[in-house]
Amino acid sequence: MNKNRQREEQKNRFFQKDNTIAAKDRIVAWPRMGNIDLALVALVSSLGVKIVEPPPNTNEALEIGVKNSIEGICLPYKLNLANYIMALEKGANTLMMFQAPGSCRFGNYTKMAQKTLKKLGYKFDMVVFDMYQSKMKQTLQAFWHVTRCMNPYRYYKGFSMGFNKAFAIDTAERLLFYTRPRELNKGDAERCYKKWYKIIRETNSVLGCKRLKKQVIEDFKQIPIDKKKIVPKVYLLGEFFVLLDPYANKEIEKTLGDLGVEVERQIFFSDWLEHVLKPSFLYKKESHRERCVRFAEKYMKRAIGGETIETVGDTVFASKNGIDGVIHIMPFSCMPEIVSQNILSKVSREEDIPVMSLVFDEQTGKAGYQTRIEAFIDLVKRKKMKSKIKNENKKEEMLAKC
């Protein structure tokens, strides 16, 4: 216990919380990651603090990040750093970030970013909350430090709206993945998703947010789809950031959807949020991680940090649930995912499921991926056809016997 305290003290010494900025002068910013903004904007603005949103991730943003970070670090850090710099340029003075020590290099991001930004001459207060133990307490403490908001209703409003928005947008995304390959008029699903993205962003009441999810589902149901179409189903697995951020993964879901493939992603921001923030005794069903540990047992006996065990477990799960293929994506030089890449080749062989690994870094064009994805999808489709014919033959044989 003594050691724990020592470490805690050590950490506090490093992340000295800056109390000189008054709550009303604070302008908060955080790095981008997919649709995380929707929830966080709702939460922080309801606590009464000004917000600066960094511009969306683009090539220019990435260039800023690459210029200011070291050679060997992974893609998510470069994008995060670019977000920080752009937000600080726009006038932010408080940066928020969560971290999970002990997973991989991710635990070191804030420390490095802080140093780099100070070297560049920015003045700011970095608020970090650990996602390791007593997560809810840490989160609340961080928000209290930033906002000094005393009103419990505002916290309720913020968290409720944030959660509901996260659920709504993730539901919309799930439905988009389902509808896109099946839609009769090309572009319907995409349009519907964009419409709802805007509505979710603008909704500003607790009740309105609660209703969002249902409305999204109803609206997506009205898109005409071809229900009889045979659509191969592909799992998208891999590193958390690259999975969630459409810029980092070069919109791989859209590419796949346009090729007539249904994408399923096991990691969603809202699921993760629920899993991380909810106390464990409230969590009755088997969580995603537990399921992964169970399925990966044959290949891995211990969790080794990062999302390795999730990737391996989900691949085994996919093969047992009739999924046609797995696309495994990761940023270049990601340590945990290299381990999973090594393991996946055996899983693919033994569980008889096609797996393709795609590595993303800052220098890759979209065309190269397109070719590889198309080839992989051809393979998956052919495999599906073959198994279908086999099944039909079996059926006929059975019928003939009868």
Partner 1 sequence: MEDNSKIIGIPRAMSYYNNYPFYYGFFSSLGFKIILSDKTTTKLINEGSNYVVSDTCLPIKVFVGHIINLLNKRCDKIFIPSIQSTAYKVNNCTKIRGLPEIIRNVINQSFKMIEPTLDKTNNITFKDFCYDIASQLDIFDKEKIEAAIKEGWTIYNNFQKMTLVGVPFEEAVKSAIEGKILPKPIEIVRPLSVVIMAHGYNLFDERISMRLINKLEKMGVKAYTGLNVSRQDAINSIQELGEIQYWANELDLTGAAAYFMLNNKVDGIIALSAFGCGPDSLMVDEIQYHATEKNMPMINLTIDEHTGEAGFVTRVEAFVDMLIRRKRKIIQESNIKVLPSSKKEKVIVSEEVVKNLTFV
> What is the smallest separation between the CB atom of 189 and partner 1, expressed in angstroms?
35
Query: How far apart, in whole angstroms, are the C-alpha atoms of residue 307 and residue 326?
Result: 15
Residue 115 phi, psi (nearest 5):
-65, -45
| Position 339 contacts partner 1 (CB under 8 A) | yes
Query: How far apart, in whole angstroms, are the C-alpha atoms of residue 211 and residue 168?
Result: 9
Query: How far apart, in whole angstroms, are the C-alpha atoms of residue 80 and residue 304?
Result: 24
Single residue of 186, 227, 285, 301 touching partner 1 by CB under 8 A: 301
Question: Hey, which residues between 132 and 191 contact partner 1 (CB under 8 A)?
Answer: 132
> What is the smallest separation between the CB atom of 391 and partner 1, expressed in angstroms?
31
Which lies closer to partner 1 via its Cβ, residue 21 or residue 335?
A: 335
Stretch that binds partner 1, among 25-33, 103-111, 321-329, 375-383 (CB under 8 A): 103-111
Which lies closer to partner 1 via its Cβ, residue 177 or residue 295?
A: 295
Among 63, 68, 56, 50, smallest CA distance to 118 is for 68
174: its two tokens: 């799930």
| Position 16 contacts partner 1 (CB under 8 A) | no
Amino acid making up residue 101: P
* Antiparallel, parallel or unpaired: β 94-99 and 27-29: parallel
Query: How far apart, in whole angstroms, are the C-alpha atoms of residue 149 and residue 384?
Result: 56
> What is the smallest separation between the CB atom of 367 and partner 1, expressed in angstroms?
22
| Position 393 contacts partner 1 (CB under 8 A) | no
Count Cα atoms within 13 angstroms, Cβ side, for 213: 15
Question: Hey, which residues between 63 and 82 contact partner 1 (CB under 8 A)?
Answer: 70-74
> What is the smallest separation between the CB atom of 302 and partner 1, expressed in angstroms?
6
Query: How far apart, in whole angstroms, are the C-alpha atoms of residue 200 and residue 47?
Result: 19
Burial of 180 (0-12, 13-18, 19+ CB in 10 A): buried
Single residue of 341, 358, 376, 377 touching partner 1 by CB under 8 A: 341
| Position 280 contacts partner 1 (CB under 8 A) | no
Query: How far apart, in whole angstroms, are the C-alpha atoms of residue 87 and residue 30?
Result: 8
| Position 11 contacts partner 1 (CB under 8 A) | yes
Among 297, 8, 42, 303, smallest CA distance to 155 is for 42
Stretch that binds partner 1, among 102-110, 237-245, 287-295, 385-393 (CB under 8 A): 102-110
Single residue of 17, 24, 67, 101 touching partner 1 by CB under 8 A: 101
> What is the smallest separation between the CB atom of 129 and partner 1, expressed in angstroms?
15
| Position 299 contacts partner 1 (CB under 8 A) | yes
Which lies closer to partner 1 via its Cβ, residue 132 or residue 283?
A: 132
| Position 302 contacts partner 1 (CB under 8 A) | yes
Which lies closer to partner 1 via its Cβ, residue 164 or residue 308?
A: 308
389: its two tokens: 């014919």
Single residue of 51, 52, 112, 131 touching partner 1 by CB under 8 A: 112
Which lies closer to partner 1 via its Cβ, residue 7 or residue 386?
A: 7
> What is the smallest separation between the CB atom of 103 and partner 1, expressed in angstroms?
8
Burial of 229 (0-12, 13-18, 19+ CB in 10 A): exposed
Single residue of 58, 108, 134, 204 touching partner 1 by CB under 8 A: 108
Binding string, 306-325, against partner 1, x = CB under 8 A? x-x-----------------
Residues 6+ apart with CB under 8 A from 86: 54, 55, 61, 64
| Position 266 contacts partner 1 (CB under 8 A) | no
Query: How far apart, in whole angstroms, are the C-alpha atoms of residue 327 and residue 256?
Result: 10
Query: How far apart, in whole angstroms, are the C-alpha atoms of residue 373 and residue 378?
Result: 9
- Does residue 325 contact residue 356 with C-beta atoms inside 8 Å? yes
What is the contact surface with partner 1 in residues (CB under 8 A)? 3-4, 7, 10-11, 14, 70-74, 101-105, 107-108, 111-112, 115, 119, 132, 299-302, 304-306, 308, 332-333, 335-336, 338-339, 341-343, 345-347, 357, 359
